[in-house]
Amino acid sequence: MSLQPPRGTRDFMPYDMVRRQYIFSTVKRVFESFGFNPIETPAFESWDILSKKGAAGDDVKDEIYYFKDKSDRELGLRFDLTAPMSRVVAANPQLPKPFKRYQIGRVWRYDRPQAGRFREFWQADVDIVGSEKMDADVECIAAAVRALEALGFRNFMIRLNNRKILNSIIKKIGIEERKVPDVFRSLDKLEKIGEEDVIKELKSKGVSDSECKSLMRAIKLKGSATEMLKKGNEIYKSSGFGELEEMVKLSKKYDIDKYIVIDFSLVRGLDYYTGPIFEVFVKEFASLGSITAGGRYDNLIKTYGGRDTPAVGISLGIERIYEIMESKKMFDLPACTTQVFVAAVSDDVRKNVIQIAEKLRRGGLNVEIDLNKRNFKKQLEYADALGINYVLIVGAQELKSKSFPLKDMKTRKQVSMGLESVVKKLT
C-alpha cells in the first residue's frame, strides 16, 4: 500500500499551508474589494455539463476525471471554475446582472504530471456576467493586477488581443471560416512549439502556404498600442479594434495602461472566447509564462441553455504564483501558525499552564502547551522543531510574581513580562 498521495496530487503540510492561505486570503480580499462575491459549486458536475460543446477545449475533454455514481449517473470532477459558474447562471436567470462572482478552489485534470503541473490544482477566478461593456473586461484585469500587487509582484505586462480581430485577419487572408477553431488551436501553440511546427500543423489542416505566410505576418505586427490599433483597423476592419481602444482608455483610470502590450499573436486555447483575450505576466518571470489569463465569452451561458448573456473573466494560477513566490523568497511568514508555546519548568506548575494558555488565547494569540508531560528541555526542543517563534516559561517563582520570561527562539534572548504584555507584544 503506497502512502503517497495519488499521482499528480499533493499533501500540503503546515509550512506550505501558511503560505497558500496567505495567497488565498490576499486574493480573496482584493477580489471582494472590487465587489466580487463568493460562490461555491460541487467538486463534480454531471458529465453533460462538463462535456458540453464549447465549454472545454478539445484537449481538456480528454483530461477529465470521469466516473459513474452507484445509480449509473455520469459525473466528472470539474476541470475549471467557469463551466460550473456558467451552469449556475443559466440555472438562476433571476440573478441581478451583472453577476460578479469570485471562486477559489480545486480543479482536476488528468494531465501528464510534470514540473509545476498537477492533476489537482487550485484556481482563483473572477467573472462578470451580464455586461457587454469593456468596463467589465478592464475591471477583471485590474482586479487580477491588484491581487498580484498585494502579493508583492511589480512590473507587469498585460498582453491584449481580441478574437474578433483574429477572425477579421483570418477572413481577410481568405482562410475558410470552418477552419477557424483549428487555426486558433494551432496558433495557440506558437510559443510552445515554434513558428515552423505551427505552420506545419496549419498546412496539415488545409491552410495554404501563402495563407500561412500572410497569417504569420499579420499576427507578428509590433508597435505601440495606438499605432497597432489604428493600422490594424485600416487593414482588417473589426469592432475588436475599437474594443481594445476602449480598454486601453479605461485602463488608464486604474493606472495599468502602462503595462498593456497589444499582441495579435495572442490566441488563448479555449474555444469559447468571443472578444478580448488577455494574459498578465510579471516581467521578471515572463519566461515562466502568464500567471493570470482570461477573456470574454459572450456565448457560453447560452450554450448551457441560459439566456443570451455576455460574460468575461480572468483566472489566477495559484500553483505558479506559489512557486514563484517561494523560489524568490517573497513570503515573509512564520513556519507555522502557532505564536507561543507555554512551557512548564516542572511538574508542580503543569496545572497552571492551561489557564495561562487560555488567557493568552482570549487575547487573540495562537498558543500551544505540552500534552505529553515532557520535561522542560524536551518542550523547548519541540517548540523549536515546529518553528514556533516564542516560548513563555512558567515556573513557581513566575507564577508568584505574575511575570514570565518570553524567550525569542531565534535570538535565544528572553525578557520577563506579564501576560497582558505578551499579548500586546505579539499581536
To a second copy, the closest distance from the beta carbon of 159 in angstroms equals 22
> How far is it, in rounded angstroms, from Cα 382 to Cα 341?
9
Q: Is 422 in the site for a second copy (CB under 8 A)?
A: no
Residue keyed to cell 469559447:
272
To a second copy, the closest distance from the beta carbon of 416 in angstroms equals 22
To a second copy, the closest distance from the beta carbon of 180 in angstroms equals 26
Q: Is 48 in the site for a second copy (CB under 8 A)?
A: yes
> How far is it, in rounded angstroms, from Cα 232 to Cα 224?
12
| Residue pair 281/157 in contact by the 8 Å Cβ criterion | yes
Closest CA to 129 of 174, 89, 94: 89
Identify the three-state secondary structure at position 215: helix
Identify the three-state secondary structure at position 110: coil
To a second copy, the closest distance from the beta carbon of 285 in angstroms equals 25
Q: Which stretches of 220-349 are DSSP H helices?
A: 225-236, 239-253, 300-303, 318-327
To a second copy, the closest distance from the beta carbon of 215 in angstroms equals 34
| Residue 216: all three cell numbers together | 504569420
Residue closer to a second copy (CB basis): 10 or 171: 10
> How far is it, in rounded angstroms, from Cα 146 to Cα 153?
9
Q: Is 24 in the site for a second copy (CB under 8 A)?
A: no
Any idea of the CA torsion for 90, 95, 99, 103, to the nearest 10 degrees?
Answer: -70
To a second copy, the closest distance from the beta carbon of 96 in angstroms equals 4
- The residue count for binding a second copy (CB under 8 A) is 96
Q: Is 70 in the site for a second copy (CB under 8 A)?
A: yes
To a second copy, the closest distance from the beta carbon of 217 in angstroms equals 36
To a second copy, the closest distance from the beta carbon of 385 in angstroms equals 4
Q: Is 42 in the site for a second copy (CB under 8 A)?
A: yes
Residue keyed to cell 517563582:
397
Give the DSSP H or E segment for 14: helix 14-33
Residue numbers 168-197 binding a second copy by CB under 8 A: none
For a second copy, which residue of 61, 135, 324, 376 counts as binding (CB under 8 A)? 135
Cα-Cα-Cα-Cα dihedral sign, residues 213, 219, 223, 226: positive
Residue closer to a second copy (CB basis): 32 or 326: 32
Q: Which stretches of 309-406 are DSSP H helices?
A: 318-327, 350-362, 376-386, 396-401
Would you give the binding string for a second copy spanning residues 318-337, x where CB under 8 A is met? ------------------xx
- Cα angle at 256 between 254 and 261, to 5 degrees? 145
Q: Which stretch binds a second copy (CB under 8 A): 63-71, 210-218, 271-279, 416-424?
A: 63-71
> How far is it, in rounded angstroms, from Cα 251 to Cα 316?
19
**Is the N-terminal amide bond of 98 cis, ω within 30° of 0?**
yes
Q: Is 114 in the site for a second copy (CB under 8 A)?
A: no
Would you give the binding string for a second copy spanning residues 235-254, x where CB under 8 A is met? ---------------x--xx
Q: Is 33 in the site for a second copy (CB under 8 A)?
A: yes
For a second copy, which residue of 26, 41, 299, 414 counts as binding (CB under 8 A)? 41
> How far is it, in rounded angstroms, from Cα 101 to Cα 21?
20
Residue closer to a second copy (CB basis): 372 or 411: 372
Report helix angle 163-173 to 225-236, nearest 10: 40
To a second copy, the closest distance from the beta carbon of 137 in angstroms equals 9
To a second copy, the closest distance from the beta carbon of 370 in angstroms equals 8
| Residue pair 87/304 in contact by the 8 Å Cβ criterion | yes
Q: Is 314 in the site for a second copy (CB under 8 A)?
A: no
The DSSP bridge partners found for residue 282 are 156
To a second copy, the closest distance from the beta carbon of 327 in angstroms equals 20
For a second copy, which residue of 61, 106, 172, 203 counts as binding (CB under 8 A)? 106
For a second copy, which residue of 1, 154, 234, 377 counts as binding (CB under 8 A)? 1
Q: DSSP state, 267?
A: -
Q: Is 18 in the site for a second copy (CB under 8 A)?
A: yes
Residue closer to a second copy (CB basis): 285 or 322: 322
Residue numbers 336-395 binding a second copy by CB under 8 A: 336-338, 341, 351, 354-355, 358, 361, 364-373, 382, 385-386
